[in-house]
Amino acid sequence: MPVLPKLAIIFVATLLALTPVSILAGRRGGRYRALPGWIAAWGWFAVLIIVLSRLSRAVSFPLLGVVMFGALKQYFTLTPLRSQDRWATLTAFVSIPLALWPTWAGSFGLLSAATVIGLFLLLPVMLSIGPRQPGLLDSLGRLLLGVLVFVFCAAHFGLMTQLPKGSLELFGIVGVLADFPQRLAGRMRPGGESFGPALGVVAGVALAAGAGALIAPMASHGALHGAIAGGLVGLSIAGGSLVADAVGHDLAQSQSDTTLGRAAFLDRTLPVIYAAPVFYHYLRAISS
Amino acid sequence: MRTLKRWLSLAFFYAFQLGFVRPVLRWYWAARYRRLSSVPKGPCIVVANHNSHLDAPLLMSMFPVGRIANVRPVAAADYFGKTAWRRTIVMIGMNAMGIERTAAPGRDVLQPAVEALEAGQSLIFFPEGSRGTPGVIGPFKPGIGKMVKSVPGVPVLPVFLSGAERSLPRGESVPLPLGLDVIIGKPRSYSPLLEAREIAEMVREDVLALAPPPPVVPGPRPGPPVRVACCGIDRDANHALFSALVLRLGSAGHTVGIGATILESDGQGVRPSDRPPLAGSRLVPKALAWAFRTGGLYTGSKFAEMVERARTDEALQDGRSARFVVSDGSPLVDLLAWGEADFYEGSFDEKGLQQLLLYLSGERRIPLAQWARFVRKAPEVWLLNVFGLAQPPAPDVLVVTTRDAASAMERVRAGGGAIAAWENEPFLARLQDGYKQVAKVLRKRRVEVIELDALDLDVNRAVEEIDAACRRLAVAPVT
């Protein structure tokens, strides 16, 4: 019987430790109200990460595909395109297996060719076919952001399975530890309070870097590289949160809707997915 | 032979529903049902908006599996009976009841539907008649009214379907996996004494009341309308300005006037609005006002009226329906001024105003510890906040008419109507100060304030000044 890996246990224990804190903080109201939903979303991430890390690709990749499909569906529900952009939307969905195939083969070059070159150049053409109606650039932005985040960036979770064992759990641990202080301190928003959120980012980056330094040796990485990877994840999460918040604002969602309503989906998933390529490419670079 | 055919049909129906419709709705679309518990246990008439072929399956899957054989979508026989394929899928797979859309002379096309209801079956109705333009809810045909009149005891369940119009709109054959929402209302009955057309209109209002705000689609977006509110203790002066402004601004862009009635104005003059009310029933606010004894400007039904006006104003926010919104009084400004005059009794400062503004805009809930104080002194604010009845928008241009309290009181007396308890000289003076105080603070929040002396009011000149301010704001970029 296989022994439950140490890093997976640490990851689950971290989430379990943060759960009561998040629930109790959630009862305080205000910006903390979103914390219970946030930790629940991390629970689902943990399932995905552990399945990807520990089960065979024949099982875990279809699951990743389903998750990417669900996320992209939710994204397009939230950010609809123009009515004539149906085929481009469908192509975005079809691109999920196209992105997973090179991921399965462990080839980032192929993934770049399939998504960056193939898809990102093909989609504008598809949107330009048909009657000339206003909103092309807006529609294109929505479509490309969706494909970039929920296909291209999300496919990196699959690529991470090629890294040394435990790297995925390491990503999960530094990710949740980087995200938590930033959520407690509140999001950076143009015109909003800046000192508290900046402090949150600093604390998140420091915590993730510290955790990365401690845990990385368990995943066959050096402590210094673990710290740098953790710090990079913290910064990427801050950037992703800023994007999620700005998208919610552009979709005329109220402040509470972006953290608790339907747009909360973006707030909870986008920052983490945003951090995946940064983490993967850093560790890949140092391993080679 | 007939029994065998019936059994085969039933087997196909269950196989189609359980093996295809429900799994696809669940796994491909992940359809979400809100307030599923509102679906009546007995027979009912389900009424929904109709934009897609997905609508009937979505509504069928609201019902538990054990009941679906007794749920029948009413379908147009002329369309769905055309080919064997459509007949099989719709009439057998969906258990639909085909009715003719145009009645032959002397024939009641709804008779089979009435019989089905009397036999204990539930029906799914799309009173628009056809799928129509995506996202547009057309008028409801009076057939639904006739049906309700024929079976007065059967409840009507209003449902709003959202998302299907984008997933599979009319004219498209490839369904996109986008989110589907089924928003279920409360079942209700309608008086059979009403005209069929009136019932159809009421059902439409009930369905519309469930509609979520439309998603922001790509393309040029209209900014929010410019809002003008005429406030102050001289109600005649406010009304005169309101009427003149609705007419005047109508020439600059579509204008909606929110007064005792809703007016619309454009280049062709002013007319009463023919759009259906957006606010739904006044019953709940009225009952709450009665239970919590609202007072002052908003006693009893006046409170419900204010809620309806505020909701109508809120619904115009997206800027697609109006360029200018003129209101005779403003729930936000009036409540703030009353707060100063009555609730805070002269101790109103900017902090108090900010707090009240947050409560009225729904951004912050009144803390539990403050409830008793608010219920006692300002139940209107408490009801709006705690029950989320409305979030009255702030005006962009605030017109405050001033008048000394003595002459205002004289005018009230000269009006000859009943004098309310609060209509006395000292209170009117306090209220007047309240309006001035609110105007001062709103000015700091970039609201353009125009103060006018009601005793020396030249309506034409004042309207010119306000019109210029509104046009300036209408062309200013949205920040």
- pLDDT number for residue A192: 63
Confidence of residue B294 (pLDDT cuts 50, 70, 90): confident
Residue B427 in this model has a pLDDT that exceeds 60: yes
3-state secondary structure at position B215: coil
Q: Name chain B contacts of A81, Cβ cutoff 8 Å.
A: 217-218
CB pair distance less than 8 Å for B134 and A83: yes
> DSSP assignment, residue A150?
I
Confidence of residue A191 (pLDDT cuts 50, 70, 90): low
CB pair distance less than 8 Å for B220 and A134: yes
Cα B241 from Cα B398, distance rounded (Å): 12
- pLDDT number for residue B292: 83
3-state secondary structure at position B99: strand
Higher-pLDDT residue of B475, A35:
A35
- pLDDT number for residue B102: 72
Q: Which residues of A touch B (CB under 8 A)?
A: 29, 69-70, 73-74, 76-83, 86, 89-90, 93, 133-136, 138-139, 142, 250-252, 255
3-state secondary structure at position A107: coil
Confidence of residue B121 (pLDDT cuts 50, 70, 90): very high
Give the DSSP letter string of B101-115. SSPPTT--TTHHHHH
Instruction: Please give the residue of chain B at the shortest CA–CA distance from A138.
Output: B218
Residue A228 in this model has a pLDDT that exceeds 90: yes
Structure ipTM: 0.78
Six-digit token string for B83? 């080919």
Give bridge partners of residue B327 from the DSSP assignment: B229, B258
Q: Name chain B contacts of A89, Cβ cutoff 8 Å.
A: 176
Residue B165 in this model has a pLDDT that exceeds 50: yes
B189-247 pLDDT per residue, tens: 998 888 888 899 899 989 988 988 777 778 766 678 899 999 998 888 899 999 999 99
- pLDDT number for residue B275: 57
- pLDDT number for residue B235: 84
- pLDDT number for residue A64: 95
Tell me the CB-side half-sphere exposure of residue A258, using CA atoms within 13 A.
21
Residue B352 in this model has a pLDDT that exceeds 90: no
Confidence of residue B343 (pLDDT cuts 50, 70, 90): low
Instruction: Please give the residue of chain A at the shortest CA–CA distance from B166.
Output: A83
Tell me the CB-side half-sphere exposure of residue B318, using CA atoms within 13 A.
14
The residue-averaged pLDDT of B434-440 equals: 86
CB pair distance less than 8 Å for B178 and A76: yes
Give the start-end residues of each E strand in B68-220: 71-76, 97-99, 122-125, 156-162, 181-184
Residue A135 in this model has a pLDDT that exceeds 80: yes
Cα A76 from Cα B126, distance rounded (Å): 27
Six-digit token string for B323? 């360029």
Higher-pLDDT residue of B477, B249:
B249
Sorted by where each starts, the structural domains of chain B and their CATH numbers stand as: 2-208 (3.40.1130.10), 226-475 (3.40.50.300)
Question: pTM (2 decimals)?
Answer: 0.67
Q: Phi, psi at residue A256, to the nearest 5°?
A: -75, -30
Beta carbon pairs, A and B, within 8 Å = 54
Domain range annotation of chain A: 1-54+165-288, 57-162
Q: Name chain A contacts of B31, Cβ cutoff 8 Å.
A: none
Closest CA to A270 of A224, A235, A236, A234: A236
B29-72 pLDDT per residue, tens: 889 999 999 999 999 999 999 989 999 999 999 999 999 999 99
B/e letters for B409-446, b = 16+ CB within 10 Å, e = fewer, are bebbeeeeeeeeebbeeebbbbbbbbbbbbbebbeeee
Closest CA to B403 of B262, B232, B289, B265: B232
- pLDDT number for residue B320: 67
Tell me the CB-side half-sphere exposure of residue B331, using CA atoms within 13 A.
27
Amino acid, single-letter form, for residue B19: G
- pLDDT number for residue B279: 45
Six-digit token string for B358? 């947050």
* Summary mean pLDDT of chain B: 85
Residue B478 in this model has a pLDDT that exceeds 90: no
- pLDDT number for residue B72: 93
B174 touching A (Cβ < 8 Å): yes
B66-116 pLDDT per residue, tens: 999 999 999 888 777 778 888 888 888 999 988 877 767 777 788 888 889
CA dihedral sign, ordered A187, A190, A193, A197: positive
3-state secondary structure at position B397: strand
Residue from the list B174, B219, B363 with its beta carbon closest to the beta carbon of A86 = B174
Pair B136, B128: CB distance under 8 Å: no
Instruction: Please give the residue of chain A at the shortest CA–CA distance from B165.
Output: A83
CB pair distance less than 8 Å for A76 and B134: no
Confidence of residue A59 (pLDDT cuts 50, 70, 90): very high
Q: Name chain A contacts of B176, Cβ cutoff 8 Å.
A: 76, 86, 89-90
- pLDDT number for residue A97: 93
Residue A6 in this model has a pLDDT that exceeds 50: yes
Cα B179 from Cα A70, distance rounded (Å): 10
Instruction: Please give the residue of chain B at the shortest CA–CA distance from A262.
Output: B179
- pLDDT number for residue A34: 87
- pLDDT number for residue A117: 83
Closest CA to B330 of B382, B379, B257: B257
Cα B354 from Cα A196, distance rounded (Å): 22
**B11 CA: distance to closest CA in chain A (Å):** 31
- pLDDT number for residue A3: 44
Q: Name chain B contacts of A69, Cβ cutoff 8 Å.
A: 177
Six-digit token string for B99? 């009715």
